Amino acid sequence: MRIAALSFFLLTACPAPLAVQQSLAQRVHNATVACVALPAGPAKAKRCSDALLCQSAAESAAEAIQKAQKAVAAGGTDVAAESQAAGLGVLADVACRRGGW
């Protein structure tokens, strides 16, 4: 019974990997637009620094998600890859939220 409840929780509580990747891609796009839109100056430097942090964290998360998905597609599971993907996804979320995206 506990395994069924845990499986149900994981399937419904964790967003689909493609949706996470698409969300991160949209946030990186918004960050890039915000960076490019500002005129040169200290505010632009800060905004672009935040955008770069968002972009690099999102890229790492996307690569980790794809690695975990390859293991699933091959018929196996890689708990380390799945854990890394989840952790990097949270890190990317925080990095992008820092800039307001």
The structural domains of the chain, with segments of one domain joined by +, span 17-98
What tens-digit pLDDT sequence spans the chain (101 residues)?
455 444 444 444 456 788 889 999 999 999 999 999 999 999 999 999 999 999 999 999 999 999 999 888 888 888 888 999 999 999 999 999 999 99
> Residue 89: which of 46, 56, 68, 60 has the closest Cα?
60
Helix-strand-coil percent breakdown of the chain, rounded to 5? 85, 0, 15
pTM (predicted TM-score): 0.77
